[in-house]
Structure 1
């Protein structure tokens, strides 16, 4: 459930009277949980006529190697840990800050894949 705006109830328990209806610019959308798997995306128009690429699943990541100073596209094996939610690692959900196991080692995700349509990460030892 998405909850937005102030509470409809007063501290006394009564309801506030609605001053106006909801506006288009107050719109919120369901969160996308990016999974490890075959690439699946959806293009969504957002405020200002821009677009966000909603990434539902992805099997590759752009991993930066600080020692070689190069970015390589590698296959994701699984999600090792995810500080966003205790069960995300078990379900292979990729979010910003998640540690993923790749073919060249562990890497930390540095962007928001569910809103950018790509997974960028930095190799960690």
Structure 2
């Protein structure tokens, strides 16, 4: 049968061998990993137990990412995989999995910020729209006294690439969605990426 998900024949956490009291079962069989890469979208439907279907993403080039502190979510293009906590080979091959640290484009978030708050994000030039609606004015007044965007994240916007983490499972649901890194989490991964560059 090959790939199996059953743990009957594995060692225990302490390293003790387990005695195989039965052979492999059909209900416990597994499939090869999806190994989702960055590229033009390509999704396969896989029939699974109970007549359900999994969406096996083989290629993805965009996803929906959330900017949590601003309560904003936008569909953006995924540029590359820059760090993975489990395997450097997944970085080399640009493989998308849950937990992958990726760089995404900044454009859609900049557009949203300018429209919602009536000011540019960073030092970029800002041209106010010609047709300003009442809703836009209300939004600008509402966000007038908001705290500024933190400096670490601002430098990410200036570079044109944001660090984000994938929180969905592309090989199971056919989507690469996640959130933008901020605060302590952003600092941690920035240091980890720099450390990896120096050692490499």
- Name 1:111's counterpart in structure 2: 168
Which is worse superposed, 71-80 or 83-92?
A: 83-92
Post-superposition CA distance 1:3-41 (Å, at most 9, x none): 55555xxxxxxxx8x977x54323211111110111011
Q: Give the Cα separation in 2 of the matches to 1:65 and 1:72.
A: 8
Q: Distance in 2 between matches of 1:80 and 1:91?
A: 10
Distance 1:19 1:97 in 2: 35
From the two aligned structures, give the one with the greater strand fraction. 1
Distance in 1 between residues matched to 2:89 and 2:30, nearest whole Å = 24
Q: Which stretches of structure 1, 4 residues or longer, exceed 6 Å deviation after superposition?
A: none
Note the 1:1-125 alignment, pairs <5 A.
Answer: 2-3=3-4, 5=6, 6-7=8-9, 23-104=25-106, 105-125=162-182
Contact preservation (8 Å) 1:82, 1:94: no
- Tell me how far apart the structure 1 counterparts of residues 3 and 26 of structure 2 sit (CA, whole Å): 15
Residues paired across the two proteins, number: 115
**Gap regions ≥5 residues in structure 2:** 10-19, 107-161, 183-200
Q: Take 1:67 and 1:26, find their aligned partners in 2: how far apart are those partners?
A: 42
Higher helix share: 2
**What TM-score do you get using the length of structure 2 for normalisation?**
0.52
C-alpha distance in 2 between matches for 1:123 and 1:107: 4
Note the C-alpha offset of 1:110.
Answer: 0.6
Q: Give ranges in structure 1 of 5+ residues lacking alignment.
A: 8-15
Q: State the superposition RMSD in angstroms.
A: 2.0
